[in-house]
Amino acid sequence: MVPAAFQVITPPGRGPTLVTLREVEQILRATRASLSLNEIRRRMSARAVRHSMVRAAVNEFLRWGLAREDVSGVRWVAPRVPPLPGRSRRRGSVPDIDDLAGSLARFGPVEDWKRELDAMRGEEDE
Amino acid sequence: MREILDTRFLVEHFVSADPELLERARERMREVRRTKRGLLPTVALAEFSAQVCRHGGQAEARTLVRALLASGIPIQPLTTSIALAAGAFRCSNPDVPLADCIIGATAAEHRGLVISDDPHFRRLPKVRVDWI
What pTM did the predictor assign? 0.64
Domain membership of residue B41 (yes or no) is: yes
Total domains in chain B come to 1
DSSP string, B31-64: HHHHHT-EEEEHHHHHHHHHHHHHHH-HHHHHHH
Domain membership of residue B129 (yes or no) is: no
Q: Do A98 and B56 touch (CB under 8 A)?
A: no
Stretch among A3-7, A19-23, B62-66, B85-89 having the lowest mean pLDDT: A3-7
Q: Do B71 and A96 touch (CB under 8 A)?
A: yes
Domain membership of residue B115 (yes or no) is: yes
Q: CATH number for the domain including B30?
A: 3.40.50.1010
What local confidence, expressed as pLDDT, does residue B92 receive?
A: 92
Tens digit of pLDDT per residue, chain A (126 long)? 556 555 555 556 678 888 889 889 888 888 878 999 999 998 888 778 888 899 999 999 999 888 999 999 999 988 765 555 555 555 567 888 888 888 888 888 889 899 988 888 875 444
Q: Please tell me which residue of chain A has the smallest CA distance to B20.
A: A31
Q: Do A105 and B27 touch (CB under 8 A)?
A: no
Sign of CA dihedral A6, A11, A15, A16: negative
Domain membership of residue B131 (yes or no) is: no
Asked if the C-beta of B7 comes within 8 angstroms of chain A's C-beta atoms, the answer is: yes
pLDDT at B64 over 50: yes
Domain membership of residue B130 (yes or no) is: no
Give the range of the structural domain holding residue B116, as residue numbers without chain letter: 3-124
User: Taking residues B52-73, what's their average pLDDT?
Assistant: 89
∠ at Cα A97 (A61, B121), nearest 5°? 135
